[in-house]
């Protein structure tokens, strides 16, 4: 088990598969500030592990995948602290997950509401157990969906569906979520992680470099990011060129390269 800095965010690496588990079932896997920071660290650890080819994120306990931000953790914050720490750090953690070079599968073994749905949206694929409910209830509490619940979720699910959840407060069942495109596959109760693992195995059976490059390009098309895929792909092209070999040889020999 890798050390994420918080025992409630567990990272297990099993060969080419990494599994991130939110382990606070007594609070429905709600995130406090320390957990948000640990989630970001876990994402960076997965991204940096060259042996990992796919990742899964899930929750412990079976009642809630993630209840989003712990209301006790953010409701008493001053506006500046809310904006500069809570929202900012949440964005950093969720962006790190969404921009993993490896494909990420969310195993929704419990409800994904509010920040939990925003967290699920960072994944490339979502597998939901058949008892799961999905929605964005934040405006009913007088707050906005602040961890990219009006941005990344629109790119992933479409603006009108997000309007129905975030403005009208509609909550969807897993079966409705499959029909509407909120989730990609269903599993029986208790079978979410196994189904997500099977999906990860399918992903890992494909060409790893092609899979990672394709994911980066899809992210760029969605507006997730653009500069990193361009630089990474261009850098890879240059790294495999004869020009680089000539340039490095000339540097080592302290002479001007002849391209």
Instruction: Give the three-state DSSP class for 139.
Output: helix
Does residue 72 have a pLDDT over 90? Answer: no
Mean pLDDT, range 87-115, rounded to an integer: 94
The CATH number that domain 9-204 falls under is 3.90.226.10
Burial class (CB within 10 angstroms; exposed 0-12, middle 13-18, buried 19+) of 27: middle
Strand partners, 10: 21
Q: In whole angstroms, what is the distance from residue 186 CA to residue 176 CA?
A: 11
Residue labelled with tokens 């969404």: 98
Cα dist from 210 to 17, 147, 215, 233, 235, whole Å: 17, 30, 8, 11, 15
- Residue ranges of domains in the chain: 9-204, 208-252
Mean pLDDT, range 16-33, rounded to an integer: 96
> Are the CB atoms for 209 and 148 separated by under 8 Å?
no
Does residue 245 have a pLDDT over 70? Answer: yes
Q: What is the pLDDT of residue 226?
A: 65
> Are the CB atoms for 82 and 190 separated by under 8 Å?
no
Q: In whole angstroms, what is the distance from residue 136 CA to residue 139 CA?
A: 8
Higher-scoring residue by pLDDT: 28, 238? 28
Residues 103-124: tens digit of each pLDDT: 999 999 999 999 999 999 999 9
Instruction: Give the three-state DSSP class for 213.
Output: helix
Does residue 86 have a pLDDT over 90? Answer: no
Instruction: Give the three-state DSSP class for 134.
Output: strand
- Dihedral of the alpha carbons of 177, 122, 214, 227, in degrees to the nearest 10: 140
Mean pLDDT, range 2-13, rounded to an integer: 95
Which residues form the catalytic set?
118, 138
Higher-scoring residue by pLDDT: 227, 28? 28
Q: What is the pLDDT of residue 225?
A: 72
Does residue 71 have a pLDDT over 80? Answer: no
pTM of the model: 0.89
Cα dist from 167 to 69, 101, 134, 159, whole Å: 19, 33, 14, 11
Strand partners, 21: 10, 58
């Amino acid at each position: 088990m890798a050390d994420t800095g918080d025992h409630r965010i567990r990272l297990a690496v099993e060969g080419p598969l990494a599994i991130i588990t939110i382990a606070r079932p007594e609070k429905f896997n709600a995130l406090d500030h320390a957990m948000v920071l640990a989630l970001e660290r876990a994402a960076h650890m997965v991204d940096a592990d060259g042996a990992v080819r796919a990742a899964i994120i899930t929750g412990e306990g079976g009642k809630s995948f993630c209840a989003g931000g712990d209301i006790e953790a953010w409701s008493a914050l001053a506006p500046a602290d809310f904006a500069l720490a809570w929202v900012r750090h949440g964005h950093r953690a969720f962006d790190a997950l969404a921009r993993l070079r490896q494909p990420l599968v969310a195993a929704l073994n419990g409800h994904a509401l509010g920040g939990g749905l925003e967290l699920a949206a960072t994944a490339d694929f979502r597998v939901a157990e058949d008892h799961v409910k999905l929605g964005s209830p934040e405006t009913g509490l007088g707050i906005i969906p602040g961890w990219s619940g009006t941005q990344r979720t629109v790119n992933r699910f479409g603006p009108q569906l997000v309007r129905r959840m975030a403005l009208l407060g509609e909550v969807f069942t897993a079966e409705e979520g499959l029909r509407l495109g909120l989730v990609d596959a269903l599993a029986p109760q208790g079978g979410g992680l196994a189904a997500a693992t099977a999906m990860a195995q399918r992903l890992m059976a494909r060409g790893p470099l092609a899979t990672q490059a394709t994911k980066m390009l899809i992210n760029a098309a969605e507006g997730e990011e653009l500069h990193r895929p361009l630089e990474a792909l261009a850098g890879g092209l240059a790294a495999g060129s004869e020009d680089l070999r000539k340039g490095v040889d000339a540097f080592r020999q302290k002479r001007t390269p002849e391209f």
